[in-house]
A and B are shown apart, each in its own frame.
Chain A
């Protein structure tokens, strides 16, 4: 277990000291959201209606951007081979890396989202739900993303392929993330959002179980 936490700590340290990865994801998030009003016109009513969808889609794309590096750098410098032959099972390595990705990308993006929500004129009443839904939903993004990152480790044009593979898997998260928000703005705020949040939790838990197993299987195939 100490090895597991050491892995998470190592990945977090790498993510923050390298700087580039986190900054790029956040910057991309801001730029994509900022482009929306330019493309759609500055109609505040329209923007507040589509804000939750824009924020969620921008979040998924930003998280996708940093997924490619999850195993790639470790593969290139050989540390992935060391991890594969080490005492920690590869499933746990994949889980640790997914958790580190969530901590270093999912949480910052979810925390940044309300600020961008102001830019999009999102109803203030929806802000707590926005952050809650994103915090609960982003683990699924990281765990399913780990599968895509592991599958495309050696692929040519890996980045584009990763998007093609992973984005369809994000659909449930996207749908329930948005339905949590629209329920929060509707008449039955507490009940509707609660059921969406519970389903989001279920999706994240399923992803946390399936993702590392599939990612480890994919890594094993490629490391031999």
Chain B
């Protein structure tokens, strides 16, 4: 009996499964986000202190949650690549990095726009802001390392090593930044209880964003698989044109 990860290891089967799943996930994401936005703008009440600016929360919180979740996914994929040599693990890690960076940036930008009316400034060196900014740098490092290496196999494994080092170091960074922050300024209370009239739209938006991420991740993975196929075909073609046996250059 194979596990589902083993069954998906065959790229052809992955393309079939993801091809059937993708439209459904994308449609569900669109529907949930549309419904969530409707609730946010027409049903959910404005906050008694923050007024209408609280609506930023419904974009900000799901983005921040996905920024973290994506890094977790990259870490798991990297582990799968280095330990189990799963053929799709690298495709997953590679596809997830730009999406994760985009969500992190979105969380930072919406947070900064929210900070201006609430705190009176676009940016404070608050523990949470700082650690999310560092998470963004880690994403950039992953993408930069991958793009700076010519050999795709080496790039994949090295990026996986860096991602795993990042998982080991991220908690330390977060802890240290929080510790440092308590010395300097009181932390902002994000975790206060949320009223149900705001919790439901937030939950719907969070699920919608997660589905959106899954849809984008699947689409990016499919593109990556296709890109690799095209590359292999091109190499084959070039090899046969030069009169070399096809596998000689493909294996190189």
Contact = CB atoms under 8 A, between A and B. Distances in A.
Contact of A169 (B144, B148, B169): B169
B173 interface: yes
A154 interface: yes
B176 interface: yes
Interface stretch (B23-31, B38-46, B47-55, B159-167): B159-167
Contacts, number: 76
A29 interface: no
Contact of B141 (A156, A165, A176): A165
Interface string A199-215: 10001001000100010
A214 B145 contact: no
A66 interface: no
Nearest to B134: A168
A152 B161 contact: no
Interface string B99-135: 0000000000000000000000000000000000010
A218 B176 contact: no
Nearest to A176: B176
Secondary structure type dominating chain B contacts = helix
Contacts of A158: 148
A164 B141 contact: yes
Nearest to B133: A168
A175 B149 CA distance: 32
Contacts of B173: 168, 171-172
Interface in A135-172: 144, 147, 151-152, 154-158, 161, 164-165, 167-169, 171-172
A164 B154 CA distance: 19
B138, B149, B158, B179 pick with most chain A CB within 10 angstroms: B158
Interface of B: 82, 134, 137-138, 140-141, 144-145, 148-150, 154, 157-158, 161-162, 164-165, 168-169, 172-173, 175-177, 179-180, 183
Given A167-B137, A221-B154, 4 more contacts: A151-B162, A161-B145, A164-B144, A172-B169
29 contacts: A152-B148, A154-B149, A156-B149, A161-B144, A161-B145, A161-B148, A164-B137, A164-B140, A164-B141, A165-B141, A165-B144, A167-B137, A168-B137, A169-B169, A175-B176, A176-B176, A179-B180, A199-B176, A203-B172, A210-B165, A214-B161, A214-B164, A217-B161, A218-B161, A221-B154, A221-B158, A221-B161, A222-B154, A222-B158
